[in-house]
Structure formats: structure tokens, C-alpha cells
Amino acid sequence: MLWFHVCNPVRMKQIDPALIPRGICLAFAGDLRKPPRSTRHSTNETVYCALFDIELAFLSQRRRWIRRRHQRELATQTTLLKRKKDSKNNRNNERPLARSVLAFVGAFAFQMLSWGIFVVFLFPQYFSSLRSLPGPKGDHWLMGQYPRIMREPTGVPMIEWINTIPHEGIIRYRGLFNQERLLITSPKALAEVLVTHNYDFKKPGAVRSSIGRILGIGVLLAEGDDHKVQRKNLMPAFAFRHVKDLYPLFWSKACEGVQAITDAVHAEAAKSATEGLTDPEKAALGPNTAVLEIGNWASRTTLDIIGMAGMGRDFGAIRDPANPLNQTYQHVFKPSRQAQVLAVLGLLLPGNLVHHLPLQRNGDIAKAANTIRATCRELIREKKEKLERKQLTDIDILSVALESGCFTEDNLVDQMMTFLAAGHETTASAMMWAIYCLCLNPEVQSRLRLEIRERLPTPGTPGDITALDIDHMPYLNAVCNEVLRYYSPVPMTLREAAVDTVIDGNKVPKGTRIMLCPWATNKDTSLWGADAGRFNPDRWLPSRDGDAAETKKTANSGGATSNYAFMTFLHGPRSCIGQGFAKAEFACILASWIGRFEFSLKNKEEYDEKNMTIKGGVTARPSKGLHVYVKVVDGCMTGWLAGPNWAGFLTSEVCPSRVFWIAFGAWERIEEQGVGNNSTYSF
């Protein structure tokens, strides 16, 4: 009621201001015609109380009681409103923190986006010190040449660039997210990367963490001083005086593989005859013919050899394909989609994060690594026990490493993992490509078989071979060298500039990826001549024309203009430590196989090299394996050619005509020996 009087201008004129309490006057700040300024201040609460007391004076007792009850309710509501306001104020105080976090995240995202745009698009195009170097055209706007490299067979784009793009030793191309890559081609640039400043260029961390899970961080992946110490202490195991003593071991294991393959051919031939299966082409080749996937046999043979020569243990993989270690490597090196995904993620994310992603591939690799490490530790313990008993007389790699005393047990495990994986996988890959090349060139296969049968003993007969026997087989060595040139087991390898450096006069910033591609360099027409893209073992043989010394020099280099033209084993301190070991092993296995078997491709489309799909990775292999017809060559049941006379041999499949002999200059020797006698010749 009093509010009515106070707020009514007419009634206010009839009231004496002196009769109104001082608190009310203060609330109106001396002007009774104005309403209270705010109900949020303590002065207004005083006004409410004064007005309420004045009003109560005019009310009856009952109405006073009602008013007091309303007053209590009003006080309760006021308290609730106050709490609500306090809560709202607290929320308002918290909002600046949330806004600050949001602002920080937005600023960080903006900075990252700006940095990404600069690194991916602006820097390679406008600011890079390497932008003036020649390179291929037709880059993808985001991924550069990466889609083409992944789509086409391994090394094919690099071979095209080397032979078609005018350059002076370095080709620049863009990879994933337009990251700059340098393809090194000239001997001078290769010498700087591999020899002169080799420790300025290390293997990228993503590569080391990826393949290190299976290969271990041994001499292959070690860097800096660690690599120097490891290589120095392992070199005695790969010295020629040691490798030459391993030739009998290489030959005996190769012959064991030959016998196992022969048994498999006979078993399949018998099965086909029993079940009435007919393959017109296989039938045309003869009864002792079967279809085999040759890569599996190559891996099992080389695994047994590295087991014996590297650790003194016969794994028995040749006779037992279910051998756990063999199965482990077969599974790990099998190409898969997840392996490709992990390889791409390894270029973008930290290795430890990629390796712990919940993918089946990661689980398989972890399980395989545990199996391999357990095998290596067992071998090391056995060797240590022999060493303690002073019974260690072996000359294998592990024994040499133990006797040096420079390796801890964990270091030894890493070294053994390196030699087990790299030592057998690379040679097995070389064997697959050798068989493929000889299938494409049957005349080379026949010519090689002739030399093998003439100079080496029959598998399974008493007698070993020596390093001298292999060295005196020029065509075998020529074929081996040409296979290693034409299809290098390791098609490419990466380096990363560890410091700001210079390559062939070009400034290379720290972190730049360097591509070394043996598949491209080994077919560079500027280094090998116009026929660099043709499989031709004769390039490694001395010519009958010209100066003898000069032709011998040309034969040793394959006719290349520089020793850096042959990049299969690299060069310098980071070159393959087991180069001599691998070449000897490769020659022995190839000689035993070609001497006993004749190979031809099952898939006729693969006779065109463009149709051969290749699995990328540490080593290059046919992605679907290499399925071939394997024929036991006539006379191989009891020897190379046990019992046939020359007349029969001259009309056989092995040597169908006199022209064949004349072509190889052997007819004079045949006439001297006499044709038609009943002598036995062991080829």
C-alpha cells in the first residue's frame, strides 16, 4: 500500500517528507518521485524493512501475521536468488579459462595449418635451395611422385628419370606431402655420399625402427662410432681366407637342396600320373617334370647355409619346410596391405607409436621377433659354453664375434638377427631373379649348364669344390654378375643428411632424404652403354679382339665406365660386409641347380618383363612368387651325364646340334676325344 502512495505522484504531494524514515529518503536519493535505484543493494533492503514496518502499523493483527509469513517467504526466496546469482557469477568467472583454452587451441591449429601449407606447398616451390635441380614433371599436387612410385614396378620410374632427364648427377623429385628427395646418379656424387662423407648420411629413423624389429640394430643399421667398432670386429669373419674355406659347405648344402628338389619333382610327377592329371606343357617337357614355387626352395637353402656358416647350426629347413624359423621368416617377409599401411605411417608418425597400433601386422612382427631372438640367444649360450670349455674351434661368424670380446649378449643377438635375415633373404632373392632371367634366356641357361657339367663334380658324389673351381668358371661368374646387376636383390636404399652438407657442389640441408637406387644406377646408359637395359652376361667376359689387358679390365667391370656403376653391394665403409660371402654362396647354389635342372616359366605372360609384378620392401621379389616348370635334365639321376656317348649327347635335348658346340668353340675338343666311342664323360 505504501508503494502505491510512494509511486503515485498525486499522493506524494499530500505526504510530508519529514514523516518518512530516513532510510527511505536515502533510497530515493532525495527525490521521492523516483523509484529505488536497485534491489540488489543493502540500502534497498533497509527501505524494504522500513516500508514494511510502516505498513504493519496500519494493519490488523491477522494481517500482520500474514505479512510476517510473507516476509519469511520473501527472505527464503531472497536467499535462493542470492545463491543462484552467486553460482552464475562463479560460472562467469570460469568462462575466461575455457575461452583461453579454446583460444590457445585455435591459435595452435592455425599455426600448424600455416606451417603445413608452408612446408608442403610454398617451401618446395619457392624457398628450397634445391628447387633449381632437374626433376620429373607431372607431380601430384599433394603427394608428388609418390603415387607413381607405388603404382609402377619397383625402380621403373627411377630408371626412366636417369635415362631421360638431363642432369649432372642429382635428380630432385617430390615424395609424400611434397617432401624433397634427391636421387644420386653420378659416380662423383655417389662417392661423396658413400665414401668421402659417408657418416654425414645416416639411415632415416623410420627405416631403422621399422626393419630393426626383425633385423636387429646390428652392423647393417648401426650408425657412427658404433658402426665403426662393429664392422672392425666382424671383418675377420668375412675375410677371403675365411670365406674360401666355406666353399665346401656351400656346395654340400646346395647339393642337399638339389636332392630335395629332385625328390619333390619325382613325388609330384608320380602323383600326377596316379591321379591322371594332365598338363600338356608339362607332358611335353618329359616325365620328370613338376611345377614348383622356386622362391620357397631358395629361402630354405640359404637359411640352412647361413645357419651353418654363420652360427654353426643346421636348421634343417631344406628337409623340413615346417621348420619354425623358416615359417617365421616366410610369414614376416610375405607382402600384405597392412605392411604397406605401416610403411606409410612410419614416414609420418613416430616409430614407437606406429609399432603399437592395434594391427595384426604389428602383432605378427612382435611374435616373429621374439622367436628369432630366442633362437639367437640359444645359439649364443651354446657358443659361450664351448668357449668356456675351450672347445670353440668353429670358424663361423658368431664364433669370431664372441672371440673378439667386444659384444655384449644383446649386441650379439642383434648381430645374429641381422645376418640371419639379411644373409639368407638377399641371396634367396638373387636366386629367384637368376632363375627368372635364365627362363627368359634359355640359350644362356643351356650354355651355363654345359660349363657347369664340364668343370664341377656331380652332386652327391665324393669330392668337394674349392674357391679355385668357381673362379675358373668364367661364364658362371659372368651370369652371376649380370643377374646381380640387372636385378639387384636390394633395389633401393635411403639415407638422410645428418648435417647441413654439400653433394657435388649443391647445398643439401639437414634432414633431406637421399635415394640410392641400384636398380636405376645399374641400368644407367651413360655408365653401361646403350644395352644397359638388356640382360647380357657376355659383357663380363674378355673380348677376343683388342688388347688382352684392356679386354680383361673391361670384363672385370662389365664394360662400365666407373666402379660406382655397379651399386648392388654399395661402396665404402657402409658397403655390404658379406659381399664375398654372398657371391660365393650364390655361385655354388646356382651351379648346382642349373647343372641338375632345366627351368621354364609356368605363366607365359611373365616372359614379358612388364607383366612381372614385383614386391617392394627390403628385397625385391616377384609379388606372387616364381612358379616354374622344373625338369630333371636327362642323365641327372646318377650323375651329370652318366654313360651317354658323344653321338647320343650331340642329338640330345642338352645339346641338340653340332652348331651349338661350334658356337662355343668346343667342337675341336670333341673331335679330339672322338665321337661315337663309349667313353663316360662327367660334365
Q: What are the pLDDT digits (tens) for 202-254?
A: 999 888 988 999 999 999 999 999 999 999 999 999 999 999 999 999 999 99
pTM given for the model: 0.80
Higher pLDDT, 198 or 97: 198
Asked if residue 287 lies in contact with residue 269, where contact means CB atoms within 8 angstroms, the answer is: yes
| CA nearest neighbour of 533 among 486, 497, 473 | 486
Report pLDDT digits (tens) over 333-360.
887 788 888 888 887 888 888 888 999 9
CATH class of 216-490+568-642: mainly alpha
Q: Is it the case that residue 671 has pLDDT exceeding 50? A: no
**Three-state DSSP string of 318-378:** CCCCCCHHHHHHHHHCCCCHHHHHHHHHHHHCCHHHHHCCCCHHHHHHHHHHHHHHHHHHH
Q: Is 592 helix (H, G, I), strand (E, B) or coil?
A: helix
Residue type, 68: R
Higher pLDDT, 44 or 99: 99
Confidence of residue 635 (pLDDT cuts 50, 70, 90): low
- Where do we find the cell 612410385? 149
Asked if residue 258 lies in contact with residue 459, where contact means CB atoms within 8 angstroms, the answer is: yes
Please give the full DSSP string across 141-178, using - where no structure is assigned: TTTBTHHHHHHSPTTHHHHHHHHHS--SSEEEEE-GGG
Confidence of residue 163 (pLDDT cuts 50, 70, 90): very high
Averaged pLDDT score across all residues of the chain: 83
> CA 620, 621, 623 angle in degrees (round to 5)?
120
| CA nearest neighbour of 518 among 560, 483, 488 | 488
Q: Is it the case that residue 11 has pLDDT exceeding 70? A: no
pLDDT value of position 645? 36
Q: Is it the case that residue 584 has pLDDT exceeding 60? A: yes
**How many of the other CB atoms lie within 10 Å of CB of 642?**
14
Q: Is it the case that residue 32 has pLDDT exceeding 80? A: no
Asked if residue 551 lies in contact with residue 271, where contact means CB atoms within 8 angstroms, the answer is: no
Q: Which residues are annotated as a binding site?
A: 576
| CA nearest neighbour of 425 among 558, 540, 317 | 317
Q: Which residues are annotated as a binding site for heme?
A: 576
Q: Is 612 helix (H, G, I), strand (E, B) or coil?
A: coil
| CA nearest neighbour of 139 among 168, 180, 167, 170 | 180
Report pLDDT digits (tens) over 40-95.
445 555 655 666 566 655 556 656 667 677 777 777 777 777 777 766 666 555 56
CA count, 13 A, side-chain hemisphere, 545: 0
Q: Is it the case that residue 441 has pLDDT exceeding 90? A: yes
Arithmetic mean of pLDDT, 101-109:
92
Asked if residue 363 lies in contact with residue 276, where contact means CB atoms within 8 angstroms, the answer is: no
Distances (CA, A) of 338 to 344, 360, 369, 542: 10, 8, 17, 48
Burial class (CB in 10 A: 0-12, 13-18, 19+), 434: buried
Return the bridge partners of 253, or none.
none
Confidence of residue 644 (pLDDT cuts 50, 70, 90): very low
- Where do we find the cell 620429373? 136
Higher pLDDT, 330 or 93: 330
Please give the Cα distance from 200 to 498 (Å, whole number).
5
Where in the chain are the domains? 2-58, 216-490+568-642, 643-683
| CA nearest neighbour of 477 among 370, 423, 558 | 558
| CA nearest neighbour of 473 among 368, 592, 387, 320 | 592
